[in-house]
Amino acid sequence: MFDYLIVGAGFAGSVLAERLARGSGKRVLICDKRPHIGGNAYDHHDDDGILIHRYGPHIFHTNSREVYEYLSQFTEWRPYMHRVLASVDGQLVPIPINLDTVNKLYNLNLTSFEVEKFFAERAEKLERIKTSEDAIVSKVGRELYEKFFRNYTRKQWDLDPSELDASVTSRIPIRTNRDDRYFGDTYQVMPLHGYTRMFERMLNHPNIKIMVGTDYREIEKMIPHAEVIYTGPVDAYFDYVYGKLPYRSLEFKFETKNVEVYQPAPVVNYPNEHAYTRVTEFKYLTGQDHKKTSLVYEYPRAEGDPYYPIPRPENAELYRKYEALAAATPNVHFVGRLATYKYYNMDQVVAQALTLYSKIAGAPRQKTTLAKVA
């Protein structure tokens, strides 16, 4: 008899498995319908021996010391500051938009102070920032919005930014200095030996049994268990009783080039050209030395694996109905990006999972998370 059946071996499921087994001595069965652990953060070596991320580029960044220290039990880190260039008007310029972006694009030589004025003169004064369009035009005006955000967003989401919550484009800061890092977080690191290695260490415990290539529906009736932790899509759990919750998908196309370095930055975004949104060159992220280099092109899709919840009011309303069902389902805990329909980064999912564990274990978070691994 297992104490817990955990559905999904991504961050949400693996953190819970680790905590319940190591922290509370519970017997855990964790399954995933994919043939591997790690969820969307899964990485592996391709045919040429280059470490790639199977489900698109995953860069770890967090402001949470607790999350950083928790994961540090299972991996060493490689310091890595992520940088992105955007292809706009025939040039490659920094995104997030910063002082250099404006100077390069308009062939100017503004100072930080002057670029602040440049933005202020163009920014649209809005009473309320509701949409992803508002979030950008209220800061830098319509022209930069159209060059960098409008078409990228339409391609990525098949929605106009005016149809998406402000939170989507607000992920990208606007800067008046020369900081060209994609993220501003305190901790910006990559797992030294990759994500999958880190997951292996999290799940390496005598109380944890792993079954990959297994949909939980194939085993839930056969394998006795007291409780369930569910990290898959919440609408699927309830057989879509209220209809499908929209999730956005991607198709990944991988390529290996017979050169050491292919593009001038880890990621190049293509807001206005091509069917793909961005191209990632993995060796920048992993620090691997190799004579060849592997890339991934991301093509947004309506159908396919559910990768992104789509933040907009009507979807939030539909999710609330599923959330109420979930809350009324005894002995099943819903956690993670798909099960709580939240556009969360990895660190936010880890924090959410640690919070759920504290609730289950009835202990304050600090005490439960920093236990040493033998």
CB 265 within 8 A of CB 258: no
CB 235 within 8 A of CB 245: yes
Question: Exactly one of 5, 6, 7, 99 binds ligand FAD (CB under 6 A); which one?
Answer: 7
Residues paired with 5 in a beta bridge: 29, 228
CB 50 within 8 A of CB 166: no
# binding residues, ligand FAD (CB under 6 A): 33
Q: Is 271 in the site for ligand UDP (CB under 6 A)?
A: yes
CB 16 within 8 A of CB 356: yes
Q: Is 338 in the site for ligand FAD (CB under 6 A)?
A: yes
Q: Is 156 in the site for ligand UDP (CB under 6 A)?
A: yes
Site string for ligand FAD, 270-299 (x = CB under 6 A): ------------------------------
Looking at the Cβ atoms of 73 and 138, the one nearer to ligand FAD is 73
Report the partner that residue 153 touches, choosing among ligand UDP, ligand FAD, none (CB closer than 5 to 8 A by kind). Answer: ligand UDP
CB 189 within 8 A of CB 60: yes
Q: Considering the complex, what minimum distance in angstroms separates the CB of residue 73 from ligand FAD?
A: 18
Q: Is 215 in the site for ligand FAD (CB under 6 A)?
A: yes
Q: Is 269 in the site for ligand UDP (CB under 6 A)?
A: yes
Q: Considering the complex, what minimum distance in angstroms separates the CB of residue 330 from ligand FAD?
A: 19
Looking at the Cβ atoms of 55 and 237, the one nearer to ligand UDP is 55
CB 271 within 8 A of CB 86: yes
Question: Exactly one of 4, 55, 152, 195 binds ligand UDP (CB under 6 A); which one?
Answer: 152
Report the partner that residue 99 touches, choosing among ligand FAD, ligand UDP, none (CB closer than 5 to 8 A by kind). Answer: none
- Helices 112-122/132-140 angle, 10° precision: 130
The CA-based angle 144-147-152, given to 5 degrees, is 120
Q: Is 282 in the site for ligand UDP (CB under 6 A)?
A: no
Question: Exactly one of 171, 217, 244, 291 binds ligand UDP (CB under 6 A); which one?
Answer: 171
CB 29 within 8 A of CB 5: yes
Q: Which range touches ligand UDP (CB under 6 A), out of 167-175, 309-317, 324-332, 365-373? A: 167-175
Looking at the Cβ atoms of 56 and 141, the one nearer to ligand FAD is 56
Q: Where are the beta strands (DSSP E) in 51-179?
A: 51-53, 60-62, 77-79, 84-88, 91-95
| Tokens 């999912």 -> residue | 349
Q: Is 32 in the site for ligand FAD (CB under 6 A)?
A: yes
Rounded Cα distance between 342 and 345, Å, is: 9
Q: Is 101 in the site for ligand UDP (CB under 6 A)?
A: no
CB 18 within 8 A of CB 24: no
Question: Exactly one of 12, 17, 67, 95 binds ligand UDP (CB under 6 A); which one?
Answer: 95
Q: Considering the complex, what minimum distance in angstroms separates the CB of residue 54 from ligand FAD?
A: 10
Which pair of structure tokens corresponds to residue 282?
């993995």
Rounded Cα distance between 94 and 265, Å, is: 10
Largest CA distance in the chain: 69
CB 99 within 8 A of CB 175: yes
Looking at the Cβ atoms of 50 and 210, the one nearer to ligand FAD is 210
Question: Exactly one of 58, 147, 175, 312 binds ligand FAD (CB under 6 A); which one?
Answer: 58
* DSSP 8-state code for residue 245: P
354 dihedral zone (left: phi>0; alpha: psi -120 to 50; beta): alpha
Looking at the Cβ atoms of 105 and 346, the one nearer to ligand FAD is 346
Residue 370's contacts (CB-CB under 8 Å, 6 or more residues apart) are 66, 69, 70
Which residues would be at the binding site for ligand UDP (CB under 6 A)? Answer: 86, 95, 148-149, 152-153, 156, 168-169, 171-172, 269, 271
Which residues would be at the binding site for ligand FAD (CB under 6 A)? Answer: 7-13, 31-34, 39-41, 55-59, 215-216, 231-232, 250, 307, 336-338, 344-347, 349
